[in-house]
Structure 1
Amino acid sequence: MFRMKELHKAVTPGDIRGEALIDMSVGCSIHHLLPVSEYFKEITVLEFSDACIKDLEDWVKKGDDAFDWSHTSKFMKELQATDKVYCDEVLMFPMKELHKAVTPGDIRGEVLMDMSVGCSIHHLLAVSEYFKEITVLEFSDACIKDLENWVKKGDDAFDLSHTSKFMTELQGTSDTWEEKEEKLRKKIKQILKCDFTKENPTDPVVLPKADCVLSLYVQDIIAKDHETYINNLKKVSRMLKPGGHLLLFGVFNATFYTIGEDKFHILKYNEEFMRKAFTIAGFVIKHLEVQESQMRNENVNVGHVFFIKALKIKEAEV
């Protein structure tokens, strides 16, 4: 299972593919080929014994006494299904909703401020053309380093082209995905560390108020309780110009997510609390899109994912 999971993660970005794959592995087995086979046109298997050659040939020919590897095939199918759910809800849902949100043309301006989970650009691709510059706030030094490396086109930078290609198709513009990435790189003017335990999250840097703030799932993770969530939302409001928009993605009735063997907290709340929090923070909700989540397994538990388009109409309550 370890090998299947790691190979699946390795090939998912799409940079490993080609005409021929050569396999040289221990024993007669196919489990490690399942995650990678779709990325190559043909496979040559090198075995180290006649017995292994006979057993594998028997499996390929569906011989009566061939090994039954169906348990690994079933596991691979479940793994890919989980990955599709993650892709749909964490990548595609935000890109589609942001594209719909900005298309009417009422969301635009000088500065977009982004505060989102991890090192990612997919959500920025949908909105970047409507702003002259982008300030990205990250919550870890590692994410800052990774994003700076992507902006500078470092040799070991993450390959995020799969999201760029999807966004190009969704928008239907004449730009190629490479041109879209290049335009985004030029608009990212600052990448700063932020900490919402501070009154000014970007301390010691004092940023001018933004025309729009984009926040992807991060508020649910950094808030330890409902009071902290409301206080953090007030801080976001103070970073935004009056009449500016907040585009926020979150999750209802979630409890946890895991990375490796470690389990992490997600703040649990419902729509009623969320609406109350936005009112206190000085926002009026212009649009709310809610989608039932399929991310319920040993790695994550989420009730619904949602997107909010909100307008700042007053300063947050004290």
Structure 2
Amino acid sequence: MDPCTYKRYHLHDQDSRKFLDHYFSDKAEMIFGEDGLKFPIKNLTRTFAAGHIKGDILLDLSNSSLVHHLYSACEFFKDIIVLKVKDRCILELKRWVDKRTGAFHWGHAAKHHVDIEGKSHQLEDKDIKVRSSMQHVVKCDLEKENMTEPIVLPPADCIISAWLLDIISKDQDDYIRYLRKFSGLLKPRGHFILIGNLGMTYYLVGKETFHGFSCDEEFVRKALEGEDFIIDDCKIHKRTAVSDLTDYKAVIFIVAHKKK
């Protein structure tokens, strides 16, 4: 298939539920659990447990209707503001927040969080806490100077971006441009937590093929440093999943903070 015909996440209508079923479900045939669930959960739990990243506002700029990367963060921020580019993603996420019938099941992710934290008895409390923190889900336009126009967001203490920069960017310049936009939403010395795929050129959702921007660790580091970030931590997890659904080579987890 010609890469020029691949769909773009923020320009075309990705089926949020199929995406979650393919890559993040608890189904027996879902083989991305080690890469997409356990690796980021382990590192997020460790990162927030250190106690250095906390505050009033956490912004989430992530792919689809993901939730699992916010279970640790909800303990350290008063409010989580989730930004989404598509109505379908918002509806899928709100279905889970409001505990509606047919919502995607994230219980396996919540259990993994509390098991790592050694707080298995707090499983129900963890779900309640993350839901109560995620009361602000806002539609955004990545191309606007103010992405949430007409809403003006207060500067965030921290941003988490999971599997987004590497699917909205068509090339290196695009990646840096979007990174600069995200950085503009942070307070001075605010923290940026980035989770993404390395070496990916495509991923499938149902029968549709979506674009991926192939980058390596060196490029991601230089992009962050070029936007005045200091990298505090970086972990690389080589791919374990065997599947033709996507061709990423590894998953990257980076924690950084703005110099000023």
Q: Which TM class, normalised by the smaller chain length?
A: 0.7 to 0.9
In angstroms, what is the RMSD of aligned CA positions? 1.9
Post-superposition shift, 1:118? 1.5
Stretches of structure 1 lacking an aligned partner (at least 5 in a row): 1-5, 15-34, 36-79
1:115 maps to 2:79 = no
Counterpart CA distance in 1 for 2:198 and 2:106 is 28
**Paired-residue identity, %:** 37
Alignment map for 1:107-146 (pairs within 5 Å): 107-146=53-92
Match of 2:115 among 169, 172, 190: 169
Contact 2:203-2:246 within 8 A present in 1 as well: yes
Amino acid at match of 1:147: L
Q: Which residue of 2 aligns with 1:291?
A: 237
Q: Deviations over 1:159-195 (max 9, x none)?
A: 2111111111111126521211111111113101122
Structure 1 residues 267, 174: CA separation in 2 closer, same or farther (over 3 Å shift)?
Answer: closer
Post-superposition shift, 1:296? 5.5
Match of 1:210 among 156, 166, 186: 156
Contact 2:85-2:142 within 8 A present in 1 as well: no
Counterpart CA distance in 2 for 1:286 and 1:110 is 21
Q: Which residue of 1 aligns with 2:4?
A: none
Contact 1:255-1:302 within 8 A present in 2 as well: yes
Q: Which residue of 1 aligns with 2:7?
A: none
Q: Deviations over 1:240-283 (max 9, x none)?
A: 10111001011222111111222111101122221221122221
Amino acid at match of 2:93: L
Post-superposition shift, 1:297? 3.7
1:198 maps to 2:144 = yes
Counterpart CA distance in 2 for 1:166 and 1:259 is 25
Amino acid at match of 1:251: N
Q: Which residue of 2 aligns with 1:149?
A: 95
Q: Which residue of 1 aligns with 2:190?
A: 244
Amino acid at match of 2:252: F
Counterpart CA distance in 2 for 1:205 and 1:270 is 35
Contact 1:295-1:301 within 8 A present in 2 as well: no
Larger RCO, structures 1/2 (Cα 8 Å, 6+ apart): 2
Q: Which residue of 1 aligns with 2:251?
A: 305
Contact 1:164-1:177 within 8 A present in 2 as well: yes
1:184 maps to 2:130 = yes
Stretches of structure 2 lacking an aligned partner (at least 5 in a row): 1-17
Larger Rg: 1
Amino acid at match of 2:187: K
Post-superposition shift, 1:88? 1.0
Amino acid at match of 2:132: K
Structure 1 residues 176, 264: CA separation in 2 closer, same or farther (over 3 Å shift)?
Answer: same
Amino acid at match of 1:126: S
Counterpart CA distance in 1 for 2:82 and 2:227 is 22
1:224 maps to 2:170 = yes
Amino acid at match of 1:229: Y
Contact 2:163-2:195 within 8 A present in 1 as well: yes
Post-superposition shift, 1:295? 4.1
Counterpart CA distance in 2 for 1:178 and 1:135 is 22
Counterpart CA distance in 1 for 2:37 and 2:259 is 30
SS of 2:101's partner is: coil
Post-superposition shift, 1:199? 1.8
Counterpart CA distance in 1 for 2:129 and 2:253 is 25
Q: Which residue of 1 aligns with 2:50?
A: 104
Alignment map for 1:256-271 (pairs within 5 Å): 256-271=202-217
Contact 2:167-2:211 within 8 A present in 1 as well: yes
